[in-house]
Amino acid sequence: MTQNKKKIVWITGGGTGIGKELAKNFSDRNFRVIVSGRRLKKLKDVQKYNKTNIIPISLDVSDHKKCKKVSDLILKKYKSIDIIVLNAATYSPGSLEKINVIEIKKIVETNILGPMNCFSPFLESMKKKRKGHLVFVSSPAGYRGLPGAGIYGVTKSAITFLAETLKLEYDPYNIKVQVVHPGFIKTPMTDKNTFDMPFIMSAKRAADIITKNIFSKKFDIYFPKRLILPMKLLQIIPFSIYSFLMRYFVKRKLNG
Ligand SMILES: NC(=O)c1ccc[n+]([C@@H]2O[C@H](COP(=O)([O-])OP(=O)(O)OC[C@H]3O[C@@H](n4cnc5c(N)ncnc54)[C@H](OP(=O)(O)O)[C@@H]3O)[C@@H](O)[C@H]2O)c1
């Protein structure tokens, strides 16, 4: 296989956690893997895993102009892209009253506008070629209003909405859209949590499940099932019952 024939995947937030493990998996599958993030040092460390296949690019996904520039460079160099994994996000748990508007703006710009900044420049060419694949990393924290999920949950709810919308709009153009809802994964993001995280799994295990399913026909990739299936059930019950249950759990937690 010549160098240019390799499939291309771009993973945002590829310097740590789930993104880093995904980058390794795709490089094992002989993809050319573009990893982006703000900390070049982290990305260069990931590159050490496979110097030929992994390409680090320093990029803040909230920087619209830079995202367009990077996307145009990718298109110019490789003519098309096979998969974009929109994984970069920032996490700020806790009640909305504890967060100021400037922080909220930054989280929205990273978690909602960030993915849009990265995939939008490719849509026209994907449509024209009738070929493309977008993978959005969302979170079950956005399934329903959740005490403590704060602005993070709001942004993840938006990402799931966005993925569903794109799936419906771009199916006719053969553009594959998937959304990932992982449970608790041990990464720098969750290392700051002080509460119990049931069924927490390693980033490597999570990336293995995601990688396998990226090559499947599944739209919604969720795991571990024993955590997410009950959460999915909570999504379909009437809000009055849901709020009763939430109040009960919060009260029980507060009482120890
Ligand atoms: N861990 C979990 O339990 C869990 C559960 C559900 C969903 N998720 C989702 O999984 C994805 C990956 O998270 P993770 O757990 O692997 O956490 P992580 O290790 O903290 O990864 C997040 C990555 O996003 C990058 N990033 C953050 N802000 C950025 C920005 N403005 N521009 C560019 N890159 C940015 C970070 O790199 P830089 O700081 O270098 O930019 C980092 O590499 C996220 O979308 C997260 O919401 C995680």
**Quick one: pLDDT at residue 41?**
98
Total count of domains within the chain = 1
**CA gap 107, 75 in Å, rounded:** 28
Which pLDDT value is given to residue 1?
45
Tell me if 185 CB under 6 Å of ligand 1.
Answer: yes
Which stretches does DSSP call E strand in the chain? 8-12, 32-37, 54-58, 83-86, 132-137, 175-182, 185-186, 201-202, 220-223
* Model pLDDT for residues 120-159, shown as the tens digit of each residue: 999 999 999 999 999 999 999 999 999 888 899 999 999 9
Query: Please, which contacts does 199-208 make with residues 24 or more away whose CB atoms are closer than 8 Å?
Result: 199/224, 199/226, 199/227, 203/17, 203/18, 203/20, 203/21, 204/21, 206/18, 206/21, 206/182, 207/18, 207/21, 207/22, 207/24, 207/25, 208/21, 208/25
- Which helix (H) or strand (E) segment holds residue 43: the answer is helix 40-47
Q: Which two tokens stand for residue 15?
A: 């310097």
Question: Which of 59, 237, 26, 27 is CA-nearest to residue 135?
Answer: 26
Query: What CATH number is associated with residue 204?
Result: 3.40.50.720
Report which secondary-structure segment, H or E, holds 40: helix 40-47
Q: Which atom of ligand 1 is nearest to the CA of 62?
A: 31
The residue whose CA is least distant from atom 7 of ligand 1 is 139
What is the per-residue pLDDT for 200? Answer: 97
Q: Give distance in angstroms: CA of 243 to centre of ligand 1.
A: 29
Cβ–ligand 1 distance for 198 under 6 Å, the answer: no
Range of the domain at 228: 3-254
The per-residue pLDDT string of the chain (256 residues; one tens digit each, 9 = 90 and over) reads 444 589 999 999 999 999 999 999 999 999 999 999 999 999 999 999 999 999 999 999 999 999 999 999 999 999 999 999 999 999 987 888 888 999 999 999 999 999 999 999 999 999 999 999 999 999 999 999 998 888 999 999 999 999 999 999 999 999 999 999 999 999 999 998 988 999 999 999 999 999 999 999 999 999 999 999 999 999 999 999 999 999 888 777 766 6
Amino acid in position 73: L
Instruction: Give the pLDDT score at 23.
Output: 98
Distance CA 51, CA 53 (A): 6
Of 180, 77, 54, 169, whose CA–CA distance to 120 is shortest?
169
Residue 4: the pLDDT is 54
Record the pTM: 0.96
Atom 43 in ligand 1: residue holding the nearest Cα: 13
